[in-house]
Amino acid sequence: MLDFSGQMSNKLDLLLINIGGTKKKVYQDLSKSFSAVEPPFWAALTAGFVRKKGYSVDILDAGAENLDQKETAEFIKNKNPNLAEIVVYSQQANVSTPIMYGVRELCFRIKSQEPNRKIILSGWHPSALPEKTMQEEKCDFVIEGEGFYSLEKLLENKKLNEIPGLWYRKNGKICSNPREKNIEDLTSELSNITWDLLPLTEKKYRAFNWLSLGKFETRNKFASLSTSLGCPYKCDYCAIHATFGERKIRYWKPEWVLKQIDTLVQDYGIKHLKIIDELFIFNPKHYVPIVEGLIERDYGLNICAFARVDSVNNEKNFERLKKAGFNWIELGIETGSDEIRKNVSKGNYSLADIKSSVKKIKDAGSNICGNFMFGLPGDTHGTMQKTLDLAIELNCEFPSFFCTMAVPGSDLYKKSVQNNLELPDSWIGYASQGYEFLPLSTKTLSPAEILAFRDKAFNTYFTNPKYLNFIENKFGLESRRHIEDMTKIKLKRKILGD
């Protein structure tokens, strides 16, 4: 292969880096045992694409290996790849921005000891703010969009101005090319996942604590998998389209998905599986064959997947989903106010639809991880209380309480910048469980009021004796004690005077 001097090289062509050293800042003391450690699916997908094209590739999961930025920079120096790509991906677009503070430190450390080391930044945040990323970070390239073909052409040593989706510098000036088209045939073009480059058998990954309720003994046998890319909706607070662009879903074929699951179970002993699609329970032609294949295999997996309230009400397959191992369904309930839901383009479904969907899932025997948001545009103390009351009434096995953020790449971020609304002054300020977290204000609520309500709501829900008894009866005493231990950790908040 050619290096960037034009000479033949026997070096590793590409090293993909999943950032480490961020858990404490992002999750505070919850990082010790209550947060997940997720396998970097996007890095494994990218590595599979590159390997299929004939290039040598490796992955450093610094998060799983518990390496800080100094140790990571030293590893990169010793590995000496032709290109080093920091993949700025969490499993969701809306929670990737906080890790940029660690990316900044890593880029600085790499360039301090190796000024000529070529660094690529790709992923959710760089794709949302490519120019700003080039301005702020000590990197050589930013890839905007999905970036598979961009990366291939960079490895081919094509002229920089001919590489779609690439941001780069020329004579000190930041330059860019139009983004590449998305891959349509996922099964053909993105057929390989380099599971072998991840430490899946070394007990370094950890499933979400809610996914593990009643099953903590196998919590480290955890993996994540996409079966589709993209989303047809466009909620104002979501940043997914900054990377995927189009409002559509592209699918891998069900047989490909089942093959990946076979590998994860048979070769790596996986027991817990997170389907990270924005919407898995959406198109029956896609997911039903996967469900049927899992029922036939009878692996005994513990699986979670996302669904939308307005696509659940007509769903008739929840009993089959439960039988296949889908013990957890994640629902974006968001708010107890129909009006506020419409304000953020979440959909036209009603409070009655939410209750009906939750009942349907519970009747089939699956658990619900419900997402609720405080501080959405139009929220007041009254509507936030209505959202908390709804969460308590629905009695989700595990609710996730969030404050609204104007995430880079979302329409809400663009509107907030245009209207000069107060935003965090650093990327770590977007970490919802972090000390420096600053949520978005509303017309009637300050960031501090919203955050105080969220933290109080969390404590109210998870310390409720009725809820704790429910958890103990359903998942056992160990699960109850786990949740009780979780609520003993009080998050410190800068804007609340801690």
Distance CA 325, CA 304 (A): 8
H helices present in 370-464, as ranges: 381-394, 411-418, 447-462
Domains, the chain, ordered by start:
14-176 (3.40.50.280), 195-496 (3.80.30.20)
Strand partners, 275: 225
What does the buried/exposed string (b/e) look like for 265-291 if buried means 16 or more CB atoms within 10 Å of the residue's CB? beebebbbbbbbbbbbbbeeebbbebb
Model confidence pLDDT, tens digit, residues 310-354: 877 666 789 999 999 999 999 999 999 988 988 777 777 889 989
Q: Confirm if 86 and 107 have CB atoms less than 8 A apart.
A: yes
Task: Tell me the three state secondary structure of residue 402.
Answer: strand
Closest CA to 58 of 103, 19, 12, 121: 12
| Residue 210 burial (CB count, 10 A) | 23
What residues have CB less than 8 Å from 197, skipping those under 6 apart? 44, 47, 57, 58, 59
Residue-by-residue DSSP string for 95-118: G-GGGHHHHHHHHHHHHHH-TT--
Q: Which pLDDT score, from 0 to 100, does residue 345 have?
A: 74
- What's the token pair of residue 246? 């189009």
Q: Which two tokens stand for residue 45?
A: 């997908």
pTM here is 0.94
Low-confidence ranges of the chain (pLDDT < 50): 1-8
Q: Give pLDDT, residue 442.
A: 95
* Beta bridge partner(s), residue 332: 371
Quick one: how far is CA 236 from the chain centroid?
17
DSSP assignment of 30-87: GGGTTS-B---HHHHHHHHHHHHTT--EEEEETTTTT--HHHHHHHHHHH--SEEEEE
∠ CA 404-335-395, rounded to 5°: 115
